[in-house]
Structure 1
Amino acid sequence: MFARDTRILIVDDMNMFRAMVRQALNTLDFKKLTEASDGTGAWTALTQAKDRREPFQMIISDWNMPKMKGIELLKKVRAEPWGQGVPFIMLTAEAERQNIVEAVESGVDNYIIKPFTVDQMKQKLTQTYEKLNKPKAKAS
């Protein structure tokens, strides 16, 4: 599982869902949480954190937001050298196959479908951690 001091950016245009994510993460003992209300605000927070040399270590972002959608934020993050290894979890009510395929092709690490429980959040975080920390196969 991710370290409890992981710096996490929560991105959602709805206060209620940001509060739900924050509460679930707090229940799981994560404390270094920052919030943004859309992708544009998230991008600003990400670049400022990088410039301070305190980059975010995980992003949990909604899909549908004004100004910049979560999928656009994902693509911008993945286009940057510093953003290629940052765990990115899409939080969304969008469960359509084409959206999931687009997110996977764009480099999303996991998906949480709204609404969710703390147990579901923990399961997705565990899956993401295990996926990203799987030992690499050695070349023969």
Structure 2
Amino acid sequence: MLRVGPNVEIADDELVERFVRAAGPGGQNVNKVATAVELRFDIAGSPSLPEAVRARLLAKRDRRMTGEGVLVINAQRFRTQERNRDDARARLVAFVEGGLHAPIPRIATRPTRASKVRRLEAKRERSTIKQGRTRRDWD
């Protein structure tokens, strides 16, 4: 079980892990051992996520999300398989935690009368400064 929040847990059988060869430095070990982890989690079909959280996560525009609602996380930061696996799971938890809290709706406000006056005064000042830069001896 992967604990995400106070009342959200993801079962291990919902996670699909695939170990592949990592790119980058690694010495003699790099061509023999598959240390990078590709973690897949089906957000659209997960029974452990509440409906509101699922909708928020699917609405996110993330390049790691496929068109079918599967989140794909590639972890190859470390040289051991176990550390990359822990890193991928931690990134999954961080992603799902981002969808646990509903965003606070923005309340539209209007500018005050004083701020409108200040804005217009600043525009007038800029206008007079720029008018002073022009040459008037064309005639």
TM-score normalised to structure 2 length = 0.30
When Rg is computed on C-alpha atoms for both structures, the one with the higher figure is 2
